[in-house]
Amino acid sequence: MIRFPLWLGMFSLFAVCGSGCERKPASPPAQPPTEISVPIPASNSSSKEADMNKTAAVTREKLNAEVDGKSLEQFVLTNKNGLRAVVLNWGGTLASVETPDRTGKLDNIVCGFSPDNAKFLTNPPYFGVTCGRYGNRIAKGKFTLDGTEYTLATNNGANHLHGGKKAFDKYIWDAEPVQGEGWAGVKLTLVSPDGDEGFPGTLTSVVTYKLTDKNELRIEYSATTDKATPLNLTNHGYWNLKGARPENGTVLDHVMHLNCDSYIAVDDESIPTGKLTAVKDDSPMDFMKAKPIGQDFGKLTNDPQGYDHCWVINGGGDSTKAPVLAAEVREPSTGRVMRVLTTEPGVQFYTGNYLPGTPDVNGFAKHGGFCLETQKFPDSPNQPSFPSCILKPGETYRQVTVHEFAVE
């Protein structure tokens, strides 16, 4: 049961504006920078010594709403440079990230909902949520594991998407603030019972967001299970480096580089064919050389036009090693730069093709944000040639994704 005694006034620090896979309508189916400097916003204090003593911090706030008798809470993370992120216990959601432009002006760059919009709890595009158990699609909502066929909830036509009808984005996670030298964060834990949305095994997932004094947002994932189960956790943040407000328009002029020389071919329902396809020079799928996101839309044949594919990260897929570069994005008018590094093998690059500009998505229109969802490959349980996504008892799933923020 969801109760909202009062929406106005809640989220006093929640500066949200406003894919891989949002819910699609039934028809149709679903070079590193040379040098980057980071301006530090001017302090309100006249004391330089006070500025030097600033440290990363986290504050916890109970919101004026509850779900199933549990309070909604937000955790506000700040670093010594003035960067700020807001994380919610609802859905493990990254609600906002405020970074400076080249003049030092802070703005939120994560799309989402305003605090008086009750669609925040339904969130059709999955703005900023933690997707699980399985981010992206599983064909026909079925897979076979150890000789047993499992049937999952189907919520994307005939296919399973982002964990099902009541997935990880529709629960309040247990949450606690955490802090270490040079960073502040929040640790979120969710226990998914055996049979949840059709998946086997009781799964315990932990997601920790950390904002560091190096202007990084680290997302660290771990999980354990008592039965073998597919697992593919990811964050579904939509980014607009101009500032995440509908009036700022599309992200098509953002300049994108993907450290990926192949991508996963899909059918007309966005289900992998099993084939990894090499990008070709100057093809629409080639982002090895940075280019504006919308530059090659005229060469795409899908409808609506835009990207919604999983690229294969060069050197990715080893959780025992340091994260490798997946993507780098520049926004020319503000100078903002975001680099995404990960231990995962793939990144789903999605350009908000199905955002309708309506109130249920807080006014965000087609191509109003882009997603870079680091993850296992789509439909891996049914694709024996793909890296395994199966977590077994006695093992620990681990994943790290890092967003680095800067300006130039």
Asked if residue 26 lies in contact with residue 92, where contact means CB atoms within 8 angstroms, the answer is no
Respond yes or no: is residue 309 known to be catalytic.
Answer: no
The CA-based diameter of the chain, rounded to the nearest angstrom, is 68
Q: Which residue in 98, 160, 197, 236 is the catalytic one? A: 236
Q: What's the CA gap between 345 and 102, in Å, rounded?
A: 33
Burial of 52 (0-12, 13-18, 19+ CB in 10 A): exposed
Q: What's the CA gap between 384 and 402, in Å, rounded?
A: 29
Q: Which residue in 73, 98, 373, 404 is the catalytic one? A: 373
Beta-sheet strands, E only, within 346-394:
346-350, 371-375, 390-391
**Which residues, listed in sequence order, are joined to residue 131 by a DSSP beta bridge?**
234
**Which residues, listed in sequence order, are joined to residue 217 by a DSSP beta bridge?**
211, 403
Structural tokens at position 70: 């549990």
Respond yes or no: is residue 236 known to be catalytic.
Answer: yes
- Distances from the Cα of 271 to the Cαs of 21, 36, 379, in angstroms? 12, 38, 7
Structural tokens at position 301: 């044949």
Asked if residue 16 lies in contact with residue 86, where contact means CB atoms within 8 angstroms, the answer is yes
Q: What's the CA gap between 209 and 186, in Å, rounded?
A: 5
Q: What's the CA gap between 376 and 138, in Å, rounded?
A: 12
Q: What's the CA gap between 244 and 363, in Å, rounded?
A: 11
Closest CA to 344 of 399, 397, 277, 383: 399
Residue type, 119: K
Q: What's the CA gap between 186 and 247, in Å, rounded?
A: 31
**Peptide bond between residue 84 and the one before it cis (omega within 30 degrees of 0):** no
Task: Go through 154-163 and write b for each residue having 16 or more CB atoms within 10 A of its CB, e for each that does not.
Answer: bbbbebbbbb
Active-site annotation, residues? 236, 373
